[in-house]
Amino acid sequence: MLVSCIRRQADRRTRHHMMLDGQINPREWMNWHPKEYQPWYFDRHKFLYERQQYAHFHHLLCHQVFLKDMLHLVQHPEPYTHIIDCRTSPLKMHRWVPHSWWLPRDEVEYALQLTPDEFADMYGFHKPRKSDDVILVSHNGLYSEQAGWEWKKQFYQHVYNYRGGTNELFGEQYNDVALKDSLP
């Protein structure tokens, strides 16, 4: 008697596909379980650097500052709180964040190596102390987050990122980085 070798189930290899662009695989049993049991799940709604593919940066993520905090600081500036503008292209900088200093994201690493005197000569304001509050602002929070990593690597204790950025503050629609929606 012949025994059929055909199995009546889905090809097991479909469960071990590569995840592209946050898509989920409906054939995978894990995708029908509650989120807390999953090794990963759909996270495109999250802030870019909180997504799974940036998990190795998790220890560097900055604390957040919100619109209400920024509006309060605009009205009542504080002496040991420094607002640093990390926007890089002057062509997209139409408005100035009140009480802020401009230190572009691509110069942060270099600037933090300078002595306080060199820093003041180069950028026109005093280098914050390690214990001061540093609030970083960019268009949509991506460059300011990256700049925050550099500040934290230099052992600044109180580094905050305003994720809403000037887009939320001024109602603009600019991006720090042109991200593609899908892989090529």
Residue 129 has pLDDT above 80, yes or no: yes
pLDDT band of 45, cuts 50, 70, 90: confident
Q: What is the pTM of this model?
A: 0.77
Given a contact cutoff of 8 angstroms between Cβ atoms, the answer to whether 147 and 105 are in contact is yes
Closest CA to 99 of 121, 122, 125, 120: 125
CA gap 24, 63 in Å, rounded: 30
- Tell me what pLDDT residue 32 has: 59
- Within the chain, all domains assigned CATH 3.40.250.10 are found at 62-170
Nearest to 137 by CA among 173, 84, 92, 95: 84
Higher pLDDT, 182 or 55: 55
Is the per-residue pLDDT at 24 higher than 80? no
**Average pLDDT over every residue of 45-64:** 89
* pLDDT greater at residue 42 or residue 121: 121
Both tokens assigned to 1: 């008697």
* Contact between 132 and 151 (Cβ < 8 Å): no
CATH superfamily, domain 62-170, is Rhodanese-like domain (3.40.250.10)
How high is the pLDDT of residue 88?
96
Mean pLDDT over residues 43-56, rounded? 85
